[in-house]
Amino acid sequence: MPAKNVDLVILVDSSESMRPCFSQLREHLKDLLVPLQQANFNVRFGLVAYAAAATRGAPSYDHTFIGGSGPEMIKKLYSHQVSADDFFTRDQTVVARVLSGLEAQGNEDTLLALDIAADFPFGPMDSTRRVIAVFTDEPLEAGVSELEPIVKIPELVQKMMSRKIQLFASAPMSDALEQLGSMDRAEIEAVNGGDGLKSVDFKKLLAQMGKSISVSSLQAGSEKPWKKAIFGQDQWKADRIVTASNRNVILAVGESAKLDTSSPITEVNVRLQWRAAVDLDLHAFYRTKSGGEGHVYFVDKNGPQMRLDTDAGVGNTGGQNEENIKITSLDDFQEILFATKIFSKGGSYKDYDGRVAVQTNNGDDIQVPLTSRERADWCVIAKFSNDVNGPTIMNLNQVTNSEPATGDF
């Protein structure tokens, strides 16, 4: 009797909203394994963590696998001598380690990532259950390429059926998900959108998934011809793929970085993130080119072309705390100070494991870590300036006990 094998590829959206999902997957992988181990299955894990950015010319993509990330991994996947060891592991701690190292960022392109996962070097069909499990909080047709990937769905379905791949998907219900859900043995868990799958009981979901895989029948027959790289990713040049060297810019105190203005900046996300059990608040103090001034924070969340999303960390809650200010145009701003105020005093700002990230629709990803060791009510973390040299972001990390004012920093 052939050995009972399972090749399970975890396909996880690693765009910004999905950060809470990473720890949930790490914590409950064992719940997925238990029913498979009880049924004496040999399990190999694969992983595709995916993000995307709408850079000039064409989107760029960041895909992380068990064996690494960057152009070399895509090249390995589509080589004539692809090695399963680069894409699969039997050690669940390896999966957990890769998930721990993910940097949530940018946008997504789920259907492209699903095509990449479907090209994995799965084990022989007559002895291996082939499974892809998708986790995303955005509709499959949303993302950096908008509706363009939709026309590829019939080809993608045909490939997965030819390769006898069973699909599990936790995603918001949409037309694209319904099309994929029509495949034989596909199982769909409809979820809320845009909340990082916070409403999902991962322990229950993964345990049910493991049980379903263990009792499903092995697909008979030979593997039919199938098309690799439906989205043309086997022909990508290196500039289509994010690498460790161009993933983001980390500014030291006093350093600045220019924003890319090769196309109009229509989306800026300024994100304050911290892990410590303190209640920080993200503030934006702005001055317009016409001389107007204003202040966006948790009491007044709206300004011109600017909006704060939420008030996180209330009650000194630790964990994946995050507040975002989204800006739709920088044209009318002369200067913006991005600052934080600690609601209940504690240690120095360096103790809070925090940072501000500035990302734009042109692919900028500028990181400003919280590094000040001084204790004060306020920390002015970063400054946006818009002068004759163009728009720039500077790392300040200056503390003060007085409310900051534009022009003083």
Amino acid letter for position 9: V
DSSP assignment of 117-185: HHTS-PPPTTTEEEEEEEE-SS-TT-STTTTGGGGGHHHHHHHHHHTTEEEEEEE---HHHHHHHTSTT
Torsion over CA of 240, 243, 247 and 249, rounded to 10 degrees? Answer: -120
Residues 6+ apart with CB under 8 A from 388: none
Q: Do residues 78 and 230 make contact, with C-beta atoms less than 8 angstroms apart?
A: no
| Lookup: tokens for 130 | 């082939």
Instruction: Flag whether pLDDT at 65 surpasses 90.
Output: yes
Confidence of residue 247 (pLDDT cuts 50, 70, 90): low
pLDDT in tens, 118-159: 999 999 998 999 999 999 988 988 777 777 788 999 999 999
* Lowest-confidence region among 48-57, 289-298, 345-354: 48-57
What is the share, in percent, of the chain residues with pLDDT greater than 90? 56
CATH code of the region 249-400: 2.60.60.30
pLDDT of residue 245: 57
Cα 335 from Cα 391, distance rounded (Å): 9
Count of beta carbons in the 10 Å neighbourhood of residue 71: 15
pLDDT in tens, 248-265: 677 889 988 888 887 889
Confidence of residue 321 (pLDDT cuts 50, 70, 90): confident
Task: State the span(s) of the chain assigned CATH 3.40.50.410.
Answer: 5-240
pLDDT in tens, 9-24: 999 998 767 877 888 8
Confidence of residue 361 (pLDDT cuts 50, 70, 90): confident
Which one, of 357, 258, 260, lies nearest residue 54 by Cα?
260
Q: Do residues 399 and 379 make contact, with C-beta atoms less than 8 angstroms apart?
A: yes
Strands 280-288 and 42-53 turn out to be unpaired
- Tell me the pTM: 0.67
Cα 194 from Cα 200, distance rounded (Å): 12
pLDDT in tens, 168-213: 999 999 999 999 999 988 999 998 877 778 888 999 999 999 999 9
Over the Cα atoms of the chain, what is R_g? 23
Residues 6+ apart with CB under 8 A from 254: 394, 395
Cα 215 from Cα 332, distance rounded (Å): 61
Confidence of residue 298 (pLDDT cuts 50, 70, 90): very high
pLDDT of residue 167: 97
209: which DSSP letter?
A: H
Instruction: Flag whether pLDDT at 311 surpasses 70.
Output: yes
Instruction: Flag whether pLDDT at 306 surpasses 90.
Output: yes
CA atoms within 13 A on the CB side of 322: 16
| Average of per-residue pLDDT values in the chain | 89
| Lookup: tokens for 263 | 């196309």
Fold entry, domain 5-240 = Rossmann fold (3.40.50)
Which of the listed ranges 84-88, 272-276, 400-404 does the model predict with the highest average pLDDT?
84-88
Task: State the span(s) of the chain assigned CATH 2.60.60.30.
Answer: 249-400
